[in-house]
Structure 1
């Protein structure tokens, strides 16, 4: 099974823990990888008007990947999905920030594109609603099933998941 890594919104405005940046960076260097970064444009997504909060207009990814895609909202941009399909992957390993919102939205976009989204639980943190990410993991399991809990489990291969 050919796979790639999708790193969701590991950027300064979400204040990711340093261990997450380091470990995701190591994994991104070991396989085809793509990152999204959330940027604010109120004309596209009304974060400030509706939620009283907004991401930075110029944040950058804190993880170096093969490709970077800017998004305005919860979903990864269609160009990111096209890129993943274009490199011929079957399974997309997903990690990053906000397990119960942006990471989950990426799972839906990947699923709808015919790809196999797989959550890397140990490399995903939750939103302010649930920093543990447990809510996002439960929703992911319900909708997509595939969750990998550790690096050891990932290295064991698809047969063990």
Structure 2
């Protein structure tokens, strides 16, 4: 199966737990990977005006990726969606920070683009509302159904015939 790993906003601004960074580094070493980094530009997304906080204006992905996309706001930009379409992938494995917000927003954009979003449930952390990510995982299962774990992905990749 042609697939790619999408790592959502695993960057210093959001202080990801070390176990997540380590797990994503292991997973990304075995599969084509793209990442998003959320940066602040009040002219594009008025975080400060509406929420009283904002991400950093400069940051970078903590996970090495084949391609990194900058975004301003919750969801991925059109450039990322077009890039994924161009790869001809059958499935996008989604991981990262804020399962119930930014990760879920990526799921909706991928779903709408016909890119079969599949959440890697053990490689995601929820927002401050639910750090366990249980709420985000439940929302994901309700809307998209497709979930997996990093162990399942690595086992699939180890099968003969998989690149």
Task: Settle same-fold status: TM greater than 0.5.
Answer: yes
Write out aligned runs for 1:7-156 (5 A): 7-148=7-148, 150-156=149-155
Q: In the alignment, is the contact (CA less than 8 A) between 2:27 and 2:150 conserved in 1? A: no
TM-score normalised by L of structure 1: 0.94
CA positional deviation for 1:85: 1.1
Cα displacement string for residues 92-111 of structure 1 (whole angstroms, at most 9, x for unaligned residues): 00000000000000000000
* Residue correspondences, number: 157
- Distance in 2 (CA, whole Å) between partners of 1:83 and 1:28 is 18
CA positional deviation for 1:156: 4.4
CA positional deviation for 1:153: 2.4
- Distance in 2 (CA, whole Å) between partners of 1:67 and 1:94 is 15
- Distance in 2 (CA, whole Å) between partners of 1:26 and 1:78 is 28
What RMSD in Å do the two structures reach over aligned CA positions? 1.2
CA positional deviation for 1:152: 2.6
- Distance in 1 (CA, whole Å) between partners of 2:110 and 2:151 is 24
Q: Which runs of 5+ in 1 are unaligned?
A: none
Q: Which runs of 5+ in 2 are unaligned?
A: 158-163
